[in-house]
Amino acid sequence: MGRLFGTDGVRGLAGHDLTARLAMDLAEAAADTLGDAGEFGVARAANRRPLAVLGRDPRASGEFLEAAVVAGLAGVGVDVLRLGVIPTPAVAYLTAELGAEFGVMLSASHNPASDNGIKFFGRGGLKLPDDVENEIEDRIRRRGSAVARPPEGGFGRVSDASAEPERYLDHLVSSLPSAGAFPGSDADASGRLPLAGLRVVVDCAHGAAYEIAPEAFRRAGADVITIGAEPDGLNINQGCGSTSLGALSAAVIAHSADAGIAHDGDADRCLAVDAAGNGVDGDQILAVLALGFKEAGRLTGDTVVATVMSNLGFRLAMRDAGIRVIETAVGDRYVLEALRAGHYVLGGEQSGHIIMLDHATTGDGILTGLQLLDAVARRGQPLGELAKVMTRYPQVLINVQGVDKSRVGSAPELAAAVAAAEMELGSLGRVLVRPSGTEPAVRVMVEAADEVEAERVAGRLAESVRTVLG
């Protein structure tokens, strides 16, 4: 068995790479690893069974995988609270809020409907570090053909939690500076709702946020038009959502909206569109929030955490604003690790994973959209103007399929090609060649002051990857 966990949980083609048997094995091994010690050392009360919360996105395969995970957990003595179709960050939040030992989310995020995945959260709603994921994999290997026995504390009990999404909605709206903490107190002292006067189009990607996201923006006072909110199990991320902004741009223009908010399949991402239909990526959103946090005295250490994929223009804008940038590997869990290690509050990725540790333990697309529009409302400036806080340098990304991604860091011919490209681009360019953490591919990224030059250098490097690693 090769390594199961990638950048963001276990992911693959449902029924082929990710089978019901594997889902059950992962559930049982996760229960062994996380059920007794919570956040890797914090024991639960001795008089109750471990509790896990379980959510999923609307993919058709999520139904059989949910059944397999429930069977695996309950069969080894874990009580399961089924949340149904709900965003990934809601699972993280409710894991902490309900005092569960761990949480499980079934989703392949932005991938097509044919894929699915399993993500785990430890006590407190935290993504698992590498060594804990390794322990789960090791337990699967060690189980082998061992004969299963009924758990000493009895089989886990399974219940549905239809009321819990309301708790998450209250949390989202109460995060706005002028909002209260419970329904009916969403307005400030003047009675004005935080997003009153803003018209927004919300693209739910036919995914997990199709009900919760529009409702959150409405409760915050926005006039909401919804698209991508008719999931049928097969249309998730199909021509919509954060991976395909065309439909959102058209809707924003057609409805004369102030902005558009796009989520991915499990709503841990947020990208945006301004009133003219122009895309606003995660770097721009992070820049807007960072400047606002600093102005409000909320940006701990005047520091923001970003990944190696963040645009050069973001780094320059932060430098000019006196904000330090800490760089991590790609993946919001690495951003989170850096935030926690330095006691910082804000970080994110160009893809739209934004983490605000004051309010969440993982990327939360709905929370991000609310905070972004709150900045628009408070400043009284259009989103397009706010997004100009940084200049996006041309950035070309090529995914090279069908190569041995495990050799990216060890092939001398590829290292030489990268070094030559970096020398050619100089100080106003950047090169990154890395294995994908979620797909069988190598990602080639090139930034340059000139887009034609970036495309030329990226194309040449992609060909080198095919030649050397093919």
Report pLDDT digits (tens) over 188-215: 555 679 999 999 999 999 999 999 999 9
Domain 395-469 has CATH 3.30.310.50: yes
Indicate the CATH number for domain 166-389. Answer: 3.40.120.10
| Confidence at 371, pLDDT banded by 50, 70, 90 | very high
> In the CATH hierarchy, which fold is given to the domain comprising 5-162?
Alpha-D-Glucose-1,6-Bisphosphate; Chain A, domain 3 (3.40.120)
* HEC profile of the chain: CCCCEECCEEEEEECCCECHHHHHHHHHHHHHHHCCCCCCCCCCCCCCCCEEEEEECCCCHHHHHHHHHHHHHHHCCCEEEEEEECCHHHHHHHHHHCCCCEEEEECCCCCCCCEEEEEEEECCCEECCHHHHHHHHHHHHHHCCCCCCCCCCCCCCEEECCCHHHHHHHHHHHCCCCCCCCCCCCCCCCCCCCCCCCEEEEECCCCCCCCHHHHHHHHCCCEEEEECCCCCCCCCCCCCHHHCCHHHHHHHHHCCCCEEEECCCCCCCCEEEECCCCEECHHHHHHHHHHHHHHCCCCHHHEEEEECCCCHHHHHHHHHCCCEEEEECCCHHHHHHHHHHHCCCEEECCCCCEEECCCCCCCCHHHHHHHHHHHHHHHCCCHHHHHHHCCCCCEEEEEEECCCHHHCCCCHHHHHHHHHHHHHHHHHCEEEEEECCCCCEEEEEEECCCHHHHHHHHHHHHHHHHHHHC
pLDDT score of 8: 84
Domains in the chain: boundaries: 5-162, 166-389, 395-469
pLDDT score of 184: 39
What pTM was computed for the model? 0.88
Mean pLDDT of 80-89: 98
| Confidence at 458, pLDDT banded by 50, 70, 90 | very high
| Confidence at 330, pLDDT banded by 50, 70, 90 | confident
pLDDT score of 189: 52
Q: Which residues belong to the active site?
A: 109
Higher pLDDT, 144 or 404: 404
Give yes or no for residue 153 having a pLDDT over 60.
yes
pLDDT score of 147: 55
Let me know if the fold of 166-389 is the same as that of 395-469. no
